[in-house]
Structure formats: structure tokens, C-alpha cells
């Protein structure tokens, strides 16, 4: 079983991760990949993600465990940036390999909803030279609720 869960503190190239990940899952029926990037916004100069080492990476591993329990997966790649980022830079890459497409697609969707709303990251944006913390959104709770019950 291919499992690659990482935090990165420098820019990364998702394509350079997904190729080897796909090759490491011989016999797969499908691979689904999501890449999130810092959204270009004229007002946002930079984005900074902070994390808390003892909770953040273990939390991502626990999320991967749940994805493997819930979906029939051959492999899972979950890579998340921390630190200072600029518009257009990748923040997150989740890729799932499975025998059947639905497991791969749903596992990526599941991981992304949980990373976006329940993972231990704190985000702030720099606008006009001043930093602003990003508060949780109601949509995050709605996204999570899709996977409950």
C-alpha cells in the first residue's frame, strides 16, 4: 500500500509527486488528483499557513487512516504546504489510487473537505501590507456534514 503524507515548508511541483505516486501503484484502475493553489486575488499579496507540529501531521495521518477505512484504496498521497506562499503557488495536493474510480474520487473529496475545515492549520493573508487572520466559514461545516451519518 502506497501512503505518502507530508508537510512541506517550500514550494513544490505537484506533477513531480503524482507521477511517481501513480507508478508506485501498479494495477490501479484509476487515480484522482486534486491540487489547490493560492487563489489569485488582486488584494492578496501573500498567504501564510502556520501549523502546530505535534498535532498537524499526526492529524493528517489520522485522516489518511479514515480514508483507507472508508474507501477501497490502493494508495494515498496527501501533501500540504506550510509557511509563506504567493498567489498561484500550490498549497495542497491529494491523490488517491484505486481499482475503481468512485473510491479514488470520493477519497480525494473526503480528504479535502477534512483538510479544509478540520486540520490544524491557521491561515492569514497580507492585504495592503497588513496581516489578517482567516476565520472559519459556515461552508466548512456544511462540507464536513456531507460525510457524517
Partner 1 sequence: MITVVLLGKLADLGGAPSLSLGAPLDWAGLKAALPETLAAVLDEPRNRVALNGVLLADKALLQAGEGDEIALLPPVSGG
Q: By the criterion CB under 8 A, which residues form the site for partner 1?
A: 36, 49-50, 52, 54-55, 58, 80, 91-92, 115-124, 133-136, 140
* Residues with Cβ within 8 Å of residue 57, at least 6 apart in sequence: 5, 7, 51
CB of 9 to partner 1, least distance (A): 14
Residue closer to partner 1 by CB (options 36, 83) is 36
Query: What minimum distance in Å lies between the beta carbon of 120 and partner 1?
Result: 6
In the complex with partner 1, the residue whose CB is nearer, 30 or 45, is: 45
140 CB-side CA count, 13 A: 10
Question: For residues 64 and 74, which CB has a smaller minimum distance to partner 1 in the complex?
Answer: 64
Q: Quote the least distance from Cβ 139 to partner 1, whole Å.
A: 10
* Residue with Cβ nearer partner 1 (94 or 97): 94
Least distance from partner 1 to the Cβ atom of residue 148, Å: 17
Per DSSP bridges, beta strands 2-8 and 73-81 are: parallel
Q: Given the C-alpha cell 498561484, which residue does it identify?
A: 88
Task: Tell me how far apart the 2 most distant CA atoms of the chain are, in Å.
Answer: 50
Neighbours of 42 (CB within 10 A): 7
Residues 6+ apart with CB under 8 A from 103: 71, 72, 73, 96
Amino acid at each position: 500500500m502506497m501512503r505518502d503524507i507530508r508537510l512541506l515548508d517550500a514550494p513544490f511541483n505537484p506533477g513531480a509527486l503524482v507521477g511517481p505516486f501513480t507508478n508506485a501503484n501498479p494495477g490501479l484502475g484509476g487515480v484522482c488528483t486534486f491540487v489547490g493553489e493560492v487563489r489569485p486575488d488582486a488584494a492578496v499579496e501573500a498567504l501564510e499557513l502556520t501549523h502546530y507540529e505535534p498535532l498537524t501531521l499526526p492529524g493528517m495521518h489520522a485522516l489518511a487512516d479514515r480514508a483507507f477505512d472508508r474507501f477501497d484504496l490502493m494508495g494515498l498521497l496527501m501533501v500540504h504546504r506550510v509557511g509563506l506562499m504567493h498567489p498561484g503557488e500550490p498549497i495542497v495536493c491529494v491523490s488517491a489510487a484505486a481499482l475503481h474510480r468512485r473510491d479514488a474520487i470520493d477519497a480525494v473529496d473526503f480528504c479535502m473537505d477534512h483538510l479544509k475545515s478540520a486540520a490544524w492549520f491557521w491561515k492569514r493573508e497580507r492585504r495592503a501590507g497588513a496581516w489578517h487572520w482567516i476565520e472559519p466559514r459556515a461552508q466548512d461545516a456544511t462540507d464536513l456534514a456531507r460525510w457524517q451519518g
